Structure 1
């Protein structure tokens, strides 16, 4: 029902991104000019939310117009406009709802016993519905009266869906599912991309060189120019590998399945019908036996870590998606990389996400440089993480998850403006 909507023409129209980027740029520069760091995760989430709601529904929440938070603990407080903005209740309800739904997964089918007295999601869902229902009613009315005269390329996803069903429950559920994909997953990708830029200034430099070569210092990116940016794609893939937006997922069997044994001579695995199988994407993406050695040697690491952690795939290295390791590991076994899932149920918005993330990073690197973490504000990871694998031990921030991965407390950064004039 949804798949036909994601045509190349739709996902390569960057007008929505352009409008929301202009607001994001002004917001970021204003905060940095005040001398404060900014929560880039919050700013990105507003960009992706406004872009997603306009693309999906034809009407944006307008969260960018509310402004962004000041660092906690500073005397300068956020204005009443920030706290009372209509988008604030929408975002809070959406985020809290995701957390509750994720928590329900820990209890399986018995989650309702935990919420015996009341369904905790219902009042939150009502806040979301208060925004979507007027748009839904308008689309259904236009459908029934034949007053929607837009071409196929002009209709929103909501207008596309009402051509196939008028069941309001199905429509609402589909819109919420796509909103999670459109807002949270791209927010995760971009947030951890900025984190990696702060940790790897050499990679930032190389990305900017490619941007200037393929797009220019000020010109707006196009889909055709993005397709030529091999290092940008490799960079995004490496972020997705180590920090997949959906760190764990699950599938339920529709019939009994017999899986082959892992090793010759061992027994196969029998999985009954209606069994939910959980798999950790983040663990698959970090397995040394699947991704191989990274070809780097850090002699000082032998003083801190066991030798088994040397030569592993736990290093951030975009070149692994460009050099001979692609053929050796990924081409030989493509299911080792599944940030968008795989097979018939692969994410419909995969290319949409790549386009949006590429657009944002191009504009970001055309305008800012010298990304640094404000560790006076960022929440540090738990102390015990320093005894875990080499990647986790080096974390400067606290990655955590509900349904999707995010940085606990936000990703507070400082960055230097390049003062480029955009065209």
Structure 2
């Protein structure tokens, strides 16, 4: 165990601040006392300074708030309304937030404040400003029109750094521009429209599905999609597939009989890698939710060390081999082969054109892998879940696919443009279950945001303030999407509601972010998801959710039945770390089509 854990480093900084405070207080009190000819015992001075510390702390917070109010007024604005908790420092709100992350529905707890003050407010956790918004006008400001003023920030990077390093999702300024510039060439139209990659791995998916379903068992579709997307992602990113689909798929936990399985070594490594990858993201997600207090939960250890050992054990040999191969390539050796078309380069190849630093290579590969694996797998999982609950939508989508493509033909890039309803189904899935439901930035300079309520003054954002936002909450707002906002209806992306809501304000729908940080792999993701959905609906004529096959944690708590909105009717348990997923998996049965 490294000596300087996050918690010990945090306590060390705190001790330094406290020592400076005590020294200053001791000097001030003794100086004043001696000036009046009074000798005060040292223990009285020290005790007084300790007792006064909370008072000075509250005084500092009060003065800071008054200064913000004056500055806001000078700019013709107002400070954000504050969430009001029952405990000092809103610690009860923090406690409930962490509890909801574990056992709640995404967004639980926020409605208490949104119902009172609207969709923009200051959570003020432990006297530290934390602005939350689910307003499209604010997201547009942060992500696009005033992009330069909002960064990930040092606090975010500190919590995420042990997993994300300096990769594109955890960097700002020149480092972010560097990662962005070397990643962009990989997502050319020719590369993302090359469907051979999807075809190979989707064929494996269909074989696995048929084998298991013909045994009479349900299959954890989420697990299967995570394997599919990690295989496509690793092959696409560095030309070295992890072969997760070669592993034996899990049987239902409640199956009466499970035949013995021979574990393929590559499959075992893939399973270990996936589990560690998930665990590391869960840890840094809790860190971000805990605010500046998170190191106190890691006093004796950095909780990411063990899972990241497994992740790095897989990535580092691949990167080392690629770096050595590049170093050993002679400068005058077959120039044309050395300068192969960029369209044939993997991300790792492109990265090595810019740097040979193994740490930078690892960080960027890992960041893009999260985007390429987890997000696509989550969308496919929730798409199949929603189709299983809406058979009319399923049959309409299947009819479109069979009419435009047929029961067996491999889809092409051009085919996808004709499948309007498929795109609407994917968009509606991304609206209800956006893959990155919550995100955060930090202001550099002070700013003024428009007020969601036109009758009130604009809102003042102090410099150096964390600004969290939620597309999950925004995507379900009835004032932005209509009274049926929480209902699943792909036609909203095709009928007059498209013009009424989305065309009028495009920032109400942000599944792939926006502005300069918009997801480079957006079209790649749409292509991959569309290809997999087409193959599934060509092969299967019915999806059925099999709740009895899944583990207990796959079923939402019974108490949800009394909740408002979708939460009351949800058949799976949506959860999140950095991205959305179905807790306990998505256990599905499928009926093979007669035409297969």
* TM-score exceeds 0.5: yes
Report which of the two structures shows the higher radius of gyration computed on alpha carbons.
Answer: 2
What CA distance in whole angstroms lies between the structure 2 residues aligned with 1:240 and 1:263?
A: 27
- What is residue 61 of structure 1 aligned with on the other side? 242
1:191 aligned onto 2:381: yes
Q: Which residue of 2 aligns with 1:254?
A: 444
The aligned counterpart of 2:298 is: 115
Q: After superposition, what is the alpha-carbon deviation per residue over 1:129-186, rounded to whole angstroms, capped at 9, x for unaligned?
A: 2222222223323444446453211110011111122332222111111111111000
Match of 1:79 among 261, 267, 285: 261
Q: 1:291 aligns with which of 448, 462, 481?
A: 481
Do the aligned residues in 2 keep the contact of 1:48 with 1:183 (CA within 8 Å)?
Answer: yes
Matched, 1:381 2:556: yes
Aligned residue pairs, count: 403
Match of 1:366 among 517, 538, 543: 538
Moved more, 387-396 or 33-42: 387-396
Name the SS for the 2:456 alignment partner: coil
Distance 1:8 1:253 in 2: 35
**Shift in Å at residue 203 of structure 1?**
0.9
Moved more, 53-62 or 111-120: 111-120
In structure 1, what is the equivalent of residue 433 of structure 2?
243
Unmatched 5+ residue regions in structure 1? 294-311
Please tell me whether the aligned partners of residues 400 and 419 of structure 2 are also in contact (alpha carbons under 8 angstroms): yes
Kindly report which structure 2 residues correspond to 1:336-351, keeping only aligned pairs within 5 A, or say none.
336-351=508-523
Q: Is the 8 A contact 2:351 2:361 kept in 1?
A: yes
Question: Over aligned residue pairs, what C-alpha RMSD do you find?
Answer: 1.7
Match of residue 30 from structure 1: 211
Q: Residue in 1 aligned with 2:277?
A: 94
How do 1:264-283 residues align onto structure 2 when only pairs under 5 Å count?
264-283=454-473
Instruction: Using the TM superposition, give the Cα deviation of residue 80 of structure 1 relative to its aligned residue in structure 2, in angstroms.
Output: 5.0
Q: Does 2:486 correspond to 1:314?
A: yes
> Which of 323, 341, 346 is the equivalent residue of 1:140?
323
Secondary structure of residue in 2 paired with 1:105: helix
Aligned equivalent of 2:420:
230
Distance 1:199 1:217 in 2: 23
Residue range with higher mean Cα deviation, 89-98 or 136-145: 136-145
Give the Cα–Cα distance (whole angstroms) in 1 for the partners of residues 459 and 326 of structure 2: 49
Matches of 1:238 and 1:209, distance apart in 2:
18
Q: 1:389 Cα shift?
A: 2.5
Instruction: Compute the displacement of 1:17 (Å).
Output: 1.1
SS in 2 for 1:162: helix
The CA distance in 1 between the partners of 2:455 and 2:357, in whole Å, is 51
1:78 Cα deviation from its structure 2 partner: 5.6
**So what's the TM-score if we normalise by structure 2?**
0.65
Whole-angstrom distance in 2 between the partners of 1:242 and 1:77: 38
Hey, what's the Cα distance between the residues in 2 that align with 1:252 and 1:78?
52
Aligned: 1:156 with 2:338: no
2:466 and 2:355 map into 1 onto residues whose CA distance is 28
Q: Counterpart of 2:189?
A: 8
Find the counterpart in structure 2 of residue 127 from structure 1: 310
Aligned residue for 1:210?
Answer: 400
- In 2: Cα distance, 1:278 partner to 1:15 partner: 39
Which structure carries more helix by proportion? 2
Q: SS in structure 2 opposite 1:135? A: helix
Give the stretch that moved more between structures: 125-134 or 215-224: 125-134
For residues 223 and 339 of structure 1, the distance between their equivalents in structure 2, rounded to whole angstroms, comes to 22
Counterparts of 1:78 and 1:317, CA distance in 2 = 43
Q: Distance in 2 between matches of 1:171 and 1:381?
A: 40
Residue pair 1:315, 1:391 contacting (<8 A) in 2 also: yes
Of 487, 491, 495, 1:323 maps to 495
Distance 1:173 1:25 in 2: 33
* Conserved 8 A contact 2:248-2:262: no
What residue number does 2:589 align with?
414
Which residue of 220, 232, 240 corresponds with 1:39? 220
Deviation at 1:67, TM superposition (A): 2.0
Deviation sequence 1:257-298 (CA, Å, 0-9, x none): 2212222342322222332211121110010000013xxxxx
Say if 1:27 and 1:67, in contact at 8 Å, map to a contact too: no
Indicate conservation of the 8 Å contact 2:398/2:537, yes or no: yes
Deviations 1:301-329 (A, max 9, x none): xxxxxxxxxxx221111110011111111
Q: 1:318 to 1:55 in 2, by over 3 A?
A: same
TM-aligned CA distance change 1:374 to 1:82, over 3 Å: farther
Deviates more, 1:154-163 or 1:79-88: 79-88
Matched position secondary structure for 2:590: strand
Q: Bigger shift: 101-110 or 55-64?
A: 101-110
**CA distance, structure 2, for counterparts of residue 85 and residue 315 of structure 1:** 40
- Give SS of 1:119's match: coil
2:289 corresponding residue in structure 1 = 106
Contact between 2:186 and 2:345, CA under 8 Å: does it hold in 1? Answer: no
Deviation at residue 109 of structure 1 after TM alignment: 3.8
Query: Residue deviations 1:2-46, cap 9 Å, x none?
Result: 122210011111111111111111111110111111111111111
